[in-house]
């Protein structure tokens, strides 16, 4: 390997290409007319060009000979550079022929005795050769890094090392090295081409001359098939490359579900690692399965609320698990990971993408040496472009290949055991999911332990596999729980000496009725202990237990109905806020579930007499404690505060119960007359964004734009149907936000690529002189001198109809550009031209199309015209196909994106709305015109 000579050859070829390109450009200009051609010949430029091409070709030939010479092995990338030299020499020969043709006086290369050479074709070929030379050189550097055990080193760092070790690098080589060093910034066309080659996010024929480069496939195969020697877990320092890929796999709320699962009650589940108590004569023991070399999946199943998720968390986190699995692993390192599907969570928390990304992140964090093998293409891309390069979003094909690569290491360099909970909470095809799980076991020997409800698809898939049913194994645990809880109840302890036999019967009845369902007994015991605290009557306890149903759903109904009428209004408020603020998943994929403090702010700020003061860290902790008391009292534990301070439903079944139409209608009927849930949620989020919560005040561009977007999403859902909640309250909240958020906006750093990057801003709540403009400018790619962005333009973008309607009068008839900008945002949302929301498209796509139509209609009825707006003009003319082509480049990807058929229908409806209003307007103008004409007669 001779990287210095290779770089020298590449530099000579680049110099030749750049010089030839200039010759072509000057020749095309000079020979547009006979007089210009004659002047060009007489000036001697043509002779100089011919001489220069010859000399540069000779210099490159010498370096190519040096690269080929000697007895050393010539690498594939060096061979490629030599082949590219031959192509450059051929182009040079053809170019010289063309120049000679010119020199003999024939305009346009049309001499009959010389083959026709299209100079434009030569120009294209030179451009293609330049990209291939850069790519081949980068691969050459990567090969050198690998050969010198510097595989983790970035290409630019390797380049600096090579050139620093060589004296007297010529200017040509130094200039080319400088160009290579700038590629990772992504600022050049070369960087884009390299990105397309390594990770084709577009069709492969985008750059056909590069996309089929065999070197890429060869290097990818080398990485994928390399032998890996694993160091001790966590002993390997994470290189920048490894860290970049791990960071790309990670997503917000990745561990939220596991953190939110309650731990087991004290001294329960002790049977898990005790041989002989994990099954009956028809099923194998979990203890045996953990140590056994088997391809069978182990299935944990049971009724809803029987403790499957709690057991899975207990199992994964228990230190004994590793001891048992190491018996199976033998001499190979053990690697185990877990994932918890969550139906109430984000898109990623209930998808196979989230499963694979979590598993891969956990495993590769322990053994980062595997990253280059599992993700060879991304590894190559980051090696060449640098760790700041923006890689394309994850695709399931990429993740499946990566999982296969990781699984293929099982029995070679490691033993892999995976634990997956909540298969029934997966949002995709369950049959496909279990087929994938079984395939990993059969093909690679990966050990899988899964948990789910006993649905038919899982019963069929795991028929004959070792399994346990939770309700068969938790009876002793439930008995222990009942005993301990009543021992800690002063009311029960005072009553027991008076009715020993009767209280024993109550405890036995509780255990029998539970039928192995921990969730049921937990809820019932809470209710009975509360009764014993306030009214320790044996008859009342007996009657309550007799009346409570064993069915979980009916039990929730009974608990709801048992809440005192004086608490019903507050209970309704909390349930509404829980659903409005999306407890368990706040609507955007990857975001954490709702914090208890957010609900506390919404709950308290709804009181007009309440003076909410900014919360410090300690203040937030107090608010969480207060909210925990509220939820215990007003929802009887159906909602609870997790150890991490998030509000969760007690169980998935609780969320399913509250979403039933009859249940929800009954909860709404208990709502206070003056309470508007969406208004309260909007106010709480606005307070958080403007400094009322120290930990939630946005400090980054992404956090700031996300916070404002979320506020406007909730504001758009406000309904002023109640006479107690006029639109003026919403307008007041948003106007306050408009003013209070200015100092926050002025301290936000702008990301690279934003037109304000590196600028010291001085935003205002208006576009007054001396300011950078309105803070809403942050949402757009570049300023427009004719347009003053404002909160009304953002409100229109998110279809906040009440606010837009209230502020219409503030945009005068002479502000035509402003009006066009606002109506375009209302109509097109995320497809509006000039938006800078590539990272935050979800909030815009979440806006219902019905709200968009209503907002646009308000503007049209106020006399605003959509004419002269490229997209809307096409819709006005009924040119839907042309409109689709116009906005195709502005489309964004998000998980769970609106169905295309629904999107198509919206634009048809929008087109009809625009045409209808245009027709009415024209008819009105016609009547006015005819009336004026009659008067003039």
Q: Whole-angstrom Cα distance, residue 875 to residue 188?
A: 37
Place of tokens 């055991």: 417
CB 574 within 8 A of CB 632: no
pLDDT of residue 408: 93
Distances (CA, A) of 351 to 451, 568, 803: 16, 37, 36
CB 436 within 8 A of CB 355: no
List, as own/partner pairs, every contact residues 868-874 make where C-beta atoms lie below 8 angstroms and the sequence separation is at least 24, other chains included: 868/820, 869/820, 869/823, 869/824, 870/833, 871/824, 871/827, 871/828, 871/831, 871/833, 872/823, 872/824, 872/827, 872/828, 872/914
At 614, list the tokens: 């900014």
> Considering only CA atoms, which of 884, 875, 886, 868 is closest in space to residue 916?
875
Distances (CA, A) of 518 to 304, 334, 477: 9, 33, 9
CB 30 within 8 A of CB 176: no
At 214, list the tokens: 């065999």
> Considering only CA atoms, which of 866, 688, 701, 843 is closest in space to residue 777?
701
pLDDT of residue 932: 40
> Considering only CA atoms, which of 514, 515, 486 is closest in space to residue 500?
486
| SS3 assignment, position 301 | strand
Q: Where are the alpha helices (DSSP H) in 369-453?
A: 371-374, 376-385, 396-407, 430-444
Phi, psi of 648 (to 5 degrees): -130, 155
- 148 Cβ neighbours under 8 A, 6+ residues apart: none
CB neighbours (10 Å) of residue 668?
12
> Considering only CA atoms, which of 913, 915, 906 is closest in space to residue 848?
906
> Considering only CA atoms, which of 174, 173, 160, 349 is closest in space to residue 253?
349
**Number of residues written out for the chain:** 937
CB neighbours (10 Å) of residue 332?
17
pLDDT digit string, tens, across residues 519-558: 899 889 988 998 898 888 999 999 988 888 888 888 888 8
CB 690 within 8 A of CB 744: yes
CB 647 within 8 A of CB 595: yes
pLDDT of residue 133: 80
Q: Whole-angstrom Cα distance, residue 498 to residue 518?
A: 29
pLDDT of residue 128: 76
CA atoms within 13 A on the CB side of 702: 8
Output the DSSP codes for 331-354.
TSPEEEEEEE--TTS-TGGGSHHH
Q: Whole-angstrom Cα distance, residue 145 to residue 139?
A: 10
Q: Where are the alpha helices (DSSP H) in 670-726?
A: 677-687, 701-716
On whether the pTM is more than 0.85, the answer is no
pLDDT of residue 310: 92
At 97, list the tokens: 């022929």
pLDDT of residue 856: 92
CB 344 within 8 A of CB 646: no
Q: Where are the alpha helices (DSSP H) in 465-534?
A: 470-473, 475-487, 490-495, 500-514, 518-534
CB 259 within 8 A of CB 648: no
Output the DSSP codes for 80-147.
HHHHHHHHHHHHHHHHHHHHHHHHTT-TTS--TTS----HHHHHHHHHHHHHHHHHHHHHHHHHHHHH
> Considering only CA atoms, which of 583, 565, 488, 580 is closest in space to residue 526?
488
Q: Whole-angstrom Cα distance, residue 205 to residue 211?
A: 7
CA atoms within 13 A on the CB side of 582: 18
CB 710 within 8 A of CB 598: no
- Which residues does the chain have with pLDDT short of 50? 106-117, 151-152, 165-168, 184-213, 277-284, 583-592, 838-839, 841, 892-898, 924-937
CB 130 within 8 A of CB 10: no
At 4, list the tokens: 């210095």
- 506 Cβ neighbours under 8 A, 6+ residues apart: 541, 542, 545
- 904 Cβ neighbours under 8 A, 6+ residues apart: none
Nearest 5°: CA angle at 515, between 509 and 517?
A: 115
pLDDT of residue 724: 54
CB 612 within 8 A of CB 604: yes
CB 692 within 8 A of CB 612: yes
Q: Whole-angstrom Cα distance, residue 339 to residue 353?
A: 11
User: H or E element: which one contains 648?
Assistant: strand 647-649
């Amino acid at each position: 390997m001779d990287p210095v000579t290779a770089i020298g050859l590449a530099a000579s070829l680049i110099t030749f290409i750049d010089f030839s390109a200039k010759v072509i450009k000057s020749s095309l200009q000079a020979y547009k007319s006979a007089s210009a051609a004659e002047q060009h010949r007489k000036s001697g430029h043509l002779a100089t060009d011919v001489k220069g091409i010859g000399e540069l070709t000779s210099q490159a030939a010498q370096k190519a000979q040096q690269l080929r010479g000697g007895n050393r092995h010539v690498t594939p990338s060096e061979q490629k550079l030599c082949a590219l030299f031959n192509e450059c020499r051929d182009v040079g020969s053809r170019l010289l022929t063309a120049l000679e043709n010119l020199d003999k006086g024939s305009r346009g290369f049309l001499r009959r005795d010389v083959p026709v050479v299209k100079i434009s074709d030569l120009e294209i070929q030179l451009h293609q050769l330049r990209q291939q030379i850069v790519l081949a050189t980068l691969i050459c550097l990567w090969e050198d890094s690998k050969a010198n055990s510097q595989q983790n080193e970035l290409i630019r760092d390797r380049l600096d090392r090579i050139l620093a070790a060589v004296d007297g690098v010529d200017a040509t080589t130094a200039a080319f090295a400088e160009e290579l060093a700038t590629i990772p910034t992504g600022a050049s066309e070369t960087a884009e081409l390299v990105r397309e080659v390594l990770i084709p996010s577009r069709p492969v024929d985008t750059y056909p001359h590069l996309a089929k480069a065999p070197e890429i496939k060869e290097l990818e195969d080398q990485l994928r098939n390399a032998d890996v020697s694993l160091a001790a877990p966590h002993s390997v320092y994470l290189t920048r490359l490894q860290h970049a890929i791990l960071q790309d796999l990670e997503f917000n709320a990745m561990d939220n579900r596991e953190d939110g699962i309650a731990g087991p009650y004290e001294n329960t589940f002790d049977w898990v690692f005790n041989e002989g108590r994990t099954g009956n004569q028809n099923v194998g023991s979990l203890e045996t399965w953990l140590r056994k070399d088997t391809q069978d999946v182990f299935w944990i199943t049971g009724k809803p609320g029987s403790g499957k998720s709690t057991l899975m968390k207990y199992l994964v986190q228990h230190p004994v698990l590793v001891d048992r699995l190491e018996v199976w692993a033998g001499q190979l390192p053990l690697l185990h990971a877990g994932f918890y599907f969550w139906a109430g969570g984000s898109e990623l928390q209930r998808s196979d993408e989230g499963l694979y990304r979590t598993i891969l992140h956990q495993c590769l964090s322990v053994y980062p040496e595997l990253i280059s093998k599992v993700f060879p293409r991304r590894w190559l891309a980051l090696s060449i472009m640098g760790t700041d390069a923006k890689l394309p979003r994850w695709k399931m094909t990429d993740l499946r290949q990566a999982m296969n690569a990781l699984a293929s290491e099982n029995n070679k360099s490691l033993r892999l055991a995976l634990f997956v909970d909540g298969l029934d909470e997966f949002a995709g095809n369950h049959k496909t999911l279990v087929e994938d799980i079984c395939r990993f076991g059969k093909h690679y020997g990966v050990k899988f332990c899964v948990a789910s409800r006993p649905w038919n698809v899982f019963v069929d898939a795991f028929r004959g596999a070792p399994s346990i049913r939770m309700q068969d194994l938790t009876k002793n645990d439930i008995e222990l729980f009942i005993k301990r809880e009543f021992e800690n109840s002063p009311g029960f302890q005072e009553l027991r000496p008076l009715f020993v036999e009767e209280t024993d019967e109550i405890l036995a009845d509780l255990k029998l009725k539970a039928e192995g369902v921990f969730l049921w007994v937990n809820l019932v015991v809470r209710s009975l202990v509360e009764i014993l605290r306030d009214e320790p009557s044996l008859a009342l306890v007996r009657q309550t237990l007799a009346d409570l149903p064993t069915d979980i759903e009916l039990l929730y109904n009974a608990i709801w109905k048992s809440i005192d009428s004086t608490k019903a209004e507050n209970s309704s408020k909390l349930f509404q806020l829980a659903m409005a603020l999306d407890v368990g998943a706040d609507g955007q994929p990857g975001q954490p579930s709702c914090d208890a403090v957010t609900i506390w702010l919404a709950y308290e700020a709804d009181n007009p007499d309440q003076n909410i003061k900014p919360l410090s860290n300690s203040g937030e902790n107090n608010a969480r404690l207060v909210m925990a008391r509220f939820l215990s009292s007003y929802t009887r534990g159906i909602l609870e505060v997790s150890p991490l301070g998030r509000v969760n439903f007690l169980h998935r079944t609780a969320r399913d119960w509250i979403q039933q139409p009859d249940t929800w209608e009954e909860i709404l009927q208990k709502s206070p007359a003056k309470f508007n849930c969406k208004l309260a949620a909007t106010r709480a989020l606005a307070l958080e964004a403007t400094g009322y919560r120290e930990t939630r005040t946005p400090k980054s561009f992404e956090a700031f734009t996300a916070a404002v977007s979320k506020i406007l999403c909730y504001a758009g859902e406000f309904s002023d149907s109640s006479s107690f909640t006029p639109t003026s309250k919403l307008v007041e909240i948003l106007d306050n936000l408009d003013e209070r958020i200015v100092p926050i906006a002025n301290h936000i750093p702008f990301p690279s690529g934003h037109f304000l990057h590196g600028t010291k801003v001085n935003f205002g709540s208006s576009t007054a002189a001396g300011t950078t403009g309105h803070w809403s400018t942050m949402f757009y790619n570049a300023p427009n001198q004719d347009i003053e962005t404002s909160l009304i333009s953002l409100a229109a973008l998110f279809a906040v109809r009440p606010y837009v309607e209230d502020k219409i009068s503030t945009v005068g008839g002479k502000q035509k550009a402003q009006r066009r900008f606002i109506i375009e945002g209302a109509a097109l949302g995320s497809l509006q031209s000039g938006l800078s929301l590539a990272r935050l498209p979800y909030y815009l796509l979440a806006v219902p199309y019905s709200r968009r139509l209503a907002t646009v209609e308000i503007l049209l009825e106020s006399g605003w015209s959509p004419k002269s707006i490229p997209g809307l003009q096409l819709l006005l003319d009924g040119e839907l196909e042309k409109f689709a082509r116009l906005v195709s480049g502005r489309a964004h990807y998000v998980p769970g994106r609106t169905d295309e058929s629904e999107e198509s229908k919206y634009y048809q409806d929008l087109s009809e709305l625009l045409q209808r209003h245009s027709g009415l307007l024209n008819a009105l103008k016609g009547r006015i015109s005819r009336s004026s004409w009659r008067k003039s007669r």
